[in-house]
Amino acid sequence: MPNFRALVCGVDEAGRGPLAGPVFAAAVILDPRRRIRGLDDSKKLTERVRLELAAAIKDRAVACGIASASVAEIDALNILQATLLAMTRAISALAVAPDRVVVDGLHCPAIAIEARAVVDGDAKVKAISAASILAKTARDAEMMRLAQVYPRYGFERHKGYPTPEHLELLRRYGPCEAYRRSFGPVRALLAGSPQPELFTRDSKYGHNKCCS
């Protein structure tokens, strides 16, 4: 008997707000016959639980894809467009084509598949939760790699986010090649400002509003 169940793909990203490193996205089609307990917004989970769930997702999902957009692409396109590019790449990396796509947030990538954005989707839709976990663990692994290449910046601790420690290290050593030069604190240093300004995020996709 034919299976008329639609294949729904959840999509989410990780790494809009950091000052350094790529932005990652993941796309996941879950298998309803192989349930995974504990799926949730990756930010609500411990690192250990995220890693355990990431392994389960890769093992039990119908298909999953992980992709990124580089620092150069972020600077050239802006963080929103680079995020959507990473999402498009993640969907394209799926071994099975989905019937529908649900994306966390406010924006959908321009794809030839029915797509819908879901605000707080990473907490509401299990496939998006799974995608958030894969994107987060993949990006964390990349930041751990960058920590080995550029050990003075402490990427293994803050993963590129603008913590007070990170801003102090950035001020002390200046930006390396891993930094997003279009982001306020990095741009300020390159312009000769002695104090990298903090910024607030005024949209789902991290359009940065600098503040003094």
Which CATH class name applies to 8-146?
alpha beta
Domain spans, the chain: 8-146, 152-210
CA neighbor of 98 nearest in space, from 39, 33, 28 = 28
What are the strands, taking DSSP E only, across the chain?
A: 8-14, 23-29, 63-69, 100-104, 114-118, 199-201, 208-210
DSSP 66-99: EEEE-HHHHHHH-HHHHHHHHHHHHHHT-SS--S
Predicted TM-score (pTM) above 0.85: yes
CB 86 within 8 A of CB 74: no
From the number of C-beta atoms within 10 Å of its C-beta (0-12, 13-18, 19+), residue 66 rates as: buried
Rounded-to-integer distance, Cα 111 and Cα 109, Å: 6
**Please, what is the average pLDDT of the chain?**
90
What's phi and psi for 88, nearest 5 deg?
-60, -45
What pLDDT is recorded for position 140?
98
What's phi and psi for 61, nearest 5 deg?
-70, 155
What pLDDT is recorded for position 195?
56
Question: Long-range contacts of range 97-102, CB-CB < 8 Å, 24 or more positions apart?
Answer: 97/7, 98/7, 98/8, 98/9, 98/27, 98/29, 99/6, 99/7, 99/8, 100/6, 100/7, 100/8, 100/9, 101/8, 101/9, 101/10, 101/11, 101/27, 102/8, 102/9, 102/10, 102/11, 102/127, 102/128
Mean pLDDT of 88-107: 97
Mean pLDDT of 24-29: 98
CA neighbor of 208 nearest in space, from 19, 73, 68 = 19
Q: Give the tens place of pLDDT for each residue, 99-156.
A: 999 999 999 999 999 999 999 999 999 999 999 999 999 999 999 999 999 999 999 9
What pLDDT is recorded for position 196?
53
For residue 100, give the amino acid letter. Answer: R
Q: Is the pLDDT of residue 194 over 90?
A: no
* Residues above pLDDT 90, as percent of the chain: 87
